[in-house]
Chain A
Amino acid sequence: MKKEDYEQLVNKTVQPPAYFMNMAKAFLVGGLICVFGEGLMNMYTSWLGFSREEAGDPMVATLIFISALLTGFGLYDRLAQFAGAGTSVPVTGFSNSLTSAAMEHKSEGFVLGVATNMFKLAGSVIVFGVVAAYILGVLRYVLVEMIPWG
């Protein structure tokens, strides 16, 4: 059998991913995580006296903490198998990538194991985050500050 024919045979045999179902699950779980975050924001503003702007940081920190805890208990990856992008896109996914890498490499020690490998997965997020912020910053400067609009 030729390679091209084989590809057709594989495509006939292998089920394509359930895109719609996966998107629905991701929307549901990702949305629920955001709703939970909003709930935390409201809690921090009405009970602890934070302003809406100030409440953002403790809300994110709480989500990161819960996600790290669930990762440690071995539960986050199971939720992620169900939710897909719903658990990897929110900040909880970032936390999971750090915690899981740190746990995985504990056997190689704290410096060369945990510290070196902690950003193995999350490093790309930081790199592209910084690059994107830089480009947008330059664009903003050019468009807003340098061009005499009116």
Chain B
Amino acid sequence: MNRVNTWTFQNDIYVQATGTVVGPLESQGPIGDAFDESLDDLHDNKKSWEEAERTMMEKAIAHCLRKDETSMKEVNVFLTGDLINQNVIGSYTARDLNVPTLGIFGACSTSVEGISIGAALVDGGFVSNALTAVSSHNATAERQYRYPTEYGSQKPSSATFTVTGSGALFLSRQKSDLRIESSTIGRVVDFDRSDPWDLGSAMAPAAADTIKTHLEDKGRSPEYYDLIVTGDLSSVGTPLVRELLKEDGIDITENHRDCGLWIYSKDQPVFSGGSGCACSAVVTYGHIFEQMMSGVYERVLLVATGALMNPLMIQQKESIPSVAHAVAFERVKHE
């Protein structure tokens, strides 16, 4: 039997609504207007940063369901992931939702993992709809992966800056203008990169592998898509993924962009760009979908990238394995 990397959904699966909440720096960025809500500060008047992050996810879900005029009772399955140990942001959010819940983890690729699993569950007829939500928070991620937030360490320019935000997406078979056509599930690849301050170069090979696989599986050229957008490769990984694909005769330079570079402006203090689960989610759900609706893009391939390490593995001198999952969105016009 041949291996299947790409899932082409047999039934039409549509994005019904999305909700996005971001932090202060993200709302001041070039696409700041695209988000439903923003926090004034990272604490958001909560007891802990974790609670602030959880509140963001709750709000993103509330915005998403409000737009679709759906109540939580109608949601069939909730797929959620974040960057904090044991996925506690998603799980603690879910304890108030009273919905069958699956916790998922793919580091910063979790957004597409959630959409793919959700679409597959709906396509297979197991559920009639799915709600997926991811989040990341600059301060909780710093604590999880790096040093205390106020610790004075000098970060190199290749470091990324975790996006504070949460994105929720609701999908079902009910017709809308935005169809989820297919998903390509990435392999875990490791090119022996071990610098936690340079995740862009660790994740670029995974992104290249998944993009190549997707195009081959679907028999498409990069030009088929108006936009191929990677999750958080930053200014380090962006030229690398283009170069890697060029080696295989695939040129994506013309229509490739990276969410990590899209969400912030060049004068914001974010080193090589944004990262985190929320990075691909809020840029896509907030800005790119809006652009698709206004006709700027018809077909978009979202490739969310994740570095699958934790500080323990880094201290044990292991390298950083990465994964990238892709999902193809299409704008459809109904008669």
Taking beta carbons and an 8 Å cutoff, which residues of A are in contact with B?
1, 3, 6-7, 9-10, 13-15, 17, 22, 71-72, 74, 76-77, 79-81, 83-85, 87-88, 93, 96-97, 99-101, 103-105, 107, 120-121
Which residues of A are found within 8 Å of B201, using beta-carbon distances? 10, 13-14
Q: A7-B192, A9-B243, A14-B236 are in contact. Are A101 and B151 (CB under 8 A)?
A: yes
Q: List 26 A-B contacts (CB under 8 A).
A: A7-B191, A10-B193, A10-B240, A13-B201, A14-B198, A15-B157, A17-B157, A74-B150, A77-B151, A77-B152, A80-B151, A81-B152, A81-B154, A81-B155, A85-B154, A88-B154, A93-B152, A97-B151, A99-B150, A100-B148, A100-B149, A101-B148, A104-B151, A107-B48, A121-B147, A121-B148
Q: Smallest distance from the beta carbon of A30 to chain B beta carbons, Å?
A: 12
Residue B129 at the A interface, CB < 8 A? no
Q: A13-B243, A15-B157 are in contact. Are A3 and B191 (CB under 8 A)?
A: yes
B151: nearest chain-A partner, CB-CB:
A100
Number of A-B residue pairs at CB separation under 8 A: 87
B158–A14 CB distance below 8 A:
yes
User: Measured between alpha carbons, how far is A13 from B205 in the docked complex, in Å?
Assistant: 14
Overall SS of chain B's interface: loop
Chain B interface, number of residues (Cβ within 8 angstroms): 29
Which residues of A are found within 8 Å of B158, using beta-carbon distances? 14-15
Q: Smallest distance from the beta carbon of A16 to chain B beta carbons, Å?
A: 9
B236–A13 CB distance below 8 A:
yes
Q: Which of B143, B191, B198, B239 has the most CB of A within 10 A?
A: B191
